[in-house]
Chains A and B, each alone.
Chain A
Amino acid sequence: MSSAVAQQWFKNSQLVGDKLLVTSAVFFPLIGLCIFFCYPLFLVAGKSLQLADGTYGIANYINVLKSPGIVKAVCNSMVLSVSTTAFCLFFGFAVAFALQRSGIGGKRYLKGALSLPLLAPSLVQALGLLFLLGRNGLVHKWTGWDIEIYGFWGLLIANILYGLPQAILIIEAALRQSDARYYEAAEILGASKWKQFFDITLPNAKFGILSAGFVVFTVTITDFGNAAVIGGNYKVLATEIYSQVVGQMNFGMGAVIGILLLLPTLIAVYIERVASQKQFGGSSESAIPVSTNFYAKRDVPLGVFVHTIASIAVLVVMTVIMASFIKLWPYRMTFTLANYNITLSGGYTPLWTSLLVSVEAAVLGVVFLFALAFSMKRIPPKLAKLVYLLAVLPVGVPGLVLGISYVLAFNVSDNMLGMLYGSSFLIALCNFYHYHSQGFLTMITGVRAVPPALEETVSCFGGGNVRILRDAVLPFMGPTIISVFFFIFMRSMVTLSAVIFLISSKVSVAAVSVMRLDEAGFTSQAAAFSTCIMITVILAMGLMNSLIYLYSISGAGKEASSDQQGIEKRGLARMVDRTYCWSST
């Protein structure tokens, strides 16, 4: 009798706990989005309606649409973004497939090499391409070939390098889980490898591919850095914003273009619709991972292809690192360490601020994004749709617009939010929300790959959301969570466009130091400082990786293996334990 009461009480409390978990998992990230994204953006929208004489109206919109060159800029932006997206999806899928499903060698190196453009300050990519492919670059010197890097093609290369790692991040999450039994069945039925690829692999990665395409398209259309350096006379929308806001101090017009740039994110509505359709297969609790055996006919060409792409990324960065040890590139090519003696006021201090800011952004990011992605399936579909839209919207906001919106929102004296202004924590928040969409889409792609049957099993055994989370979702999501963490960490270390509005005379970050050195004319010192940032990021990542490794050893006892299968086994083993527990009570 008393045990029945206790059981009833336990069940009730579990239900309450369940609700509480889902509610808070949605509530806190949503409040964060409202305060640190929607509200600032709302103020920018207000600016877009404010006219030069202080009154309100839509004249700014009309002026933008009427201004000469805007049609050209829109067309250029569209052509560029569509081409970049096409290349990034093709390359990105090839790399993600090579990493997750093939037997090619040097996977770790590949992964590192292709994330270089994420952890390098934008100056590095610009300088690297110029040193290599510029009119006075190495390729020209060695071959005498006159390349015209400025303009569409240069911009395309630079944008592909920047968009590719973000595409890989998301597509990889989609390809991570798989079930060999589909392929075995297809094999028995006599389907060719190509047919298997088009009928099993591609459809299963559909959501990831669409999301990656959306992200690449939007980051390209909002990117200013590459356009300014290598775009030459190829004018795009982001350069228009810059010349309105920074060149002519004309906030209204800049805000209008910023708002118009949100339009492409409407594509996200379509992606969300695709996502809500049931994808077949996915993976199941008894999934047998697809073997990643070496298969020469596929893996040799694939390996050559993806390693070539990686080499380009490495070459660009290595050129700049090399230049940082050169006295006067390209005139006096003698070795020197002098460039590492940073004469800038503050020296290397901003580097440590950046490190703190980036860890804060990444930790906050992973917790909020995971919570949001986990609860998407557990809240009413209408609400889920709204959350989805809000969560993917930030990628459509150019950094410059985000930075100014933060000043408008947080530089206030009459409420609590004002306390954040001038602090490094606000920079961390800004960085997290700047890259919110990429992190969210990766997480949700990962969550979708968690076998639904496994969640149901836990649920059938009486496990609530807490248990589903711990026993079904987390073990599968480990690698995805870690890659999202490092993505936000790396971007936060080097992003500049928004942050430039949030530094103060006392708090500054590393990316700003690079820009200052470059502006003051010390290009080699800027390259040296960038090299230090990259080394710091790599060291920090190495350290965090080994901490995770140590933790996984101590956490899992003798099952030290941290690879996918290990984690999976552990999760299942724990579940079996628990099943035993439940049946015995």
Chain B
Amino acid sequence: MRAFNMQNVKILATGIFMGLAFCSQVQAGEITVYSALEEDEIADYLAVAKKSLPDIEINVLRLSTGDLGARVIAESANPQADVIWGFAVTNMADKKILSQLEPYKAVNSESLPAQYRAEDDSWFAATGYMGALCVNTAVLESKKLPMPKSWSDLTNPVYKGEVVMPNPASSGTGYLQVAAIIQGAGEEAGWKLIDEMDDNMAQYTSSGSKPCKMARAGEYAIGASLSFVAMKSVEMGYPVSMVIPSDWAGYELEASGLLAGSKNKEDAKKFLDWTLSQEAAELYTKYKAIITIPGSKPSEMATAAGLPENLSEVLYPVDFAKSAKERPEILKKWSATTTK
């Protein structure tokens, strides 16, 4: 055991301090973007954005909505990012995040309908996603269950122990579903429906995509989840059908904004402008259920799901600021109503 002689200590020390060399330096023409968009769409968008904005190096850190929110709040003393790109608007409207944004009127933002941007221009939403049911057709068949079409259908006792849904306290997806039901059906009827669904619910998961993954693996017949995961699962070949609930389709907008602590606001603004451009809108049609930019084609997904061209027919005009404010109350009531 001569492992502790000076020579080795020196080698160790060198090795340890090599790690320090990884410290990054901010350069002009470089921006850091925090995004909750999906991995593969980011790659697609960036490939095009880099061609249109050749002078800007765009570094993206992709995190799930919850992790991203926690990260931005934790970093608030010394913000590291320039832009938040595609982040659930319910979270964006929370004052802990809102207070870190700097209002910026992005080019084209005035053409967005009023409900898709903040009054003071601190955020705007170019895209959005919808709540969707992932239904495993193989399980339905083997258990001889009917295909559900709406939230109300899920109260049918035949589905007992076959439905999974995200917990609204830990998942934004869960919250948008609960909020849509309550706002759509009204306070009283909404809570009654949630109570009745609770009898059939096998479990409430902590993540929003988990119910769909469970349904596609055949663990349960129905998973209340997101349009994105549902489409992905269909595409990958799982025996899954995506069902947009016909009664109240919950949805969430993906908001973007400029962080007040940005050290390169000029480039950050250029990038934000790009996310509202027609070029970007074109790309969104491949991935997004909801595109708010006027004049863009309806998305492939919306068409496939049989949604009308004018989405406002099915989308309930949610007041997101109110939704964010009421959250604690709704969550309290939710845990009192559900038994699991």
Contacts and interface: CB of A to CB of B under 8 A. Distances in A.
Contacts of B16: 360, 363-364, 425
At the interface, is chain A mostly helix, strand, loop or mixed? helix
A342 to B, nearest CB: 11
B203 A411 contact: no
A343 interface: yes
Given A248-B331, A519-B209, A135 B218 contact: yes
A555 B70 contact: no
Interface string B215-233: 0011110000000010011
Nearest to B75: A411
Nearest to B206: A228
B171 A422 contact: no
Interface stretch (A197-205, A277-285, A326-334): A326-334
A404 B74 CA distance: 6
Contacts of B4: 470, 474
Nearest to A353: B22
B78 A413 contact: yes
Interface residues on B, range: 35 or more
Interface string B16-39: 100110111000000011000011
Contacts of A249: 66, 69-70, 73, 91, 94, 96-97
Nearest to B38: A520
Contacts of A421: 80
Contacts, number: 174
A475 B2 CA distance: 10
A501 B218 contact: no
Contacts of A360: 15-16, 19
B64 interface: yes
B145 interface: no
B333 to A, nearest CB: 10
Interface stretch (A170-178, A239-247, A287-295, A434-442): A239-247
Given A331-B238, A504-B24, A505-B61, A343 B40 contact: yes
Nearest to B33: A505
Interface residues of A, number: 69
A411 B169 contact: no
A195 interface: no
Given A246-B69, A249-B69, A136 B217 contact: yes
Contact of B24 (A246, A332, A422): A422
A420 interface: yes
Given A233-B203, A407-B74, A424-B22, A135 B220 contact: yes
A408 B74 contact: yes
B39 A519 contact: yes
Contacts of A404: 70, 74
A523 B212 CA distance: 12
B144 interface: no
A233 B204 contact: yes
A344 B39 contact: yes
B338 to A, nearest CB: 9
Nearest to B42: A345
Nearest to B91: A249
B172 to A, nearest CB: 8
Contacts of B71: 407, 501
B48 interface: no
A356 B327 contact: no
Interface in A109-153: 130, 134-136, 150
B53 interface: no
B78 A412 contact: yes
A247 B169 contact: yes
A233 B167 CA distance: 10
A501 B74 contact: yes
Contacts of A428: 19
B283 to A, nearest CB: 16
Contacts of B78: 411-413, 418
A295 B264 CA distance: 73
Interface string A450-475: 00000000000000000000100011
Given A247-B170, A404-B74, A520-B39, A239 B206 contact: yes
Contact of B336 (A68, A130, A343): A68
B206 A345 contact: no
A523 B60 contact: no
25 contacts: A135-B220, A136-B139, A243-B169, A247-B172, A248-B327, A331-B237, A345-B42, A360-B15, A363-B15, A404-B70, A407-B74, A407-B75, A411-B75, A420-B23, A422-B22, A422-B80, A423-B20, A423-B22, A424-B19, A425-B22, A474-B1, A475-B1, A500-B67, A506-B59, A523-B213
Interface of A: 68-69, 130, 134-136, 150, 228, 232-233, 239, 242-243, 245-249, 251, 328-332, 343-345, 356-357, 359-360, 363-364, 367, 404, 407-408, 411-413, 418-425, 428, 470, 474-475, 478, 500-501, 503-507, 516-517, 519-521, 523, 551, 555, 567
Instruction: State the 8 A-B residue pairs at the shortest beta-carbon distance, nearest first.
Output: A425-B19, A246-B66, A136-B218, A247-B170, A243-B170, A505-B59, A407-B74, A233-B340
Given A233-B204, A470-B1, A506-B59, 7 more contacts: A136-B139, A345-B42, A475-B1, A500-B63, A507-B22, A516-B62, A519-B209
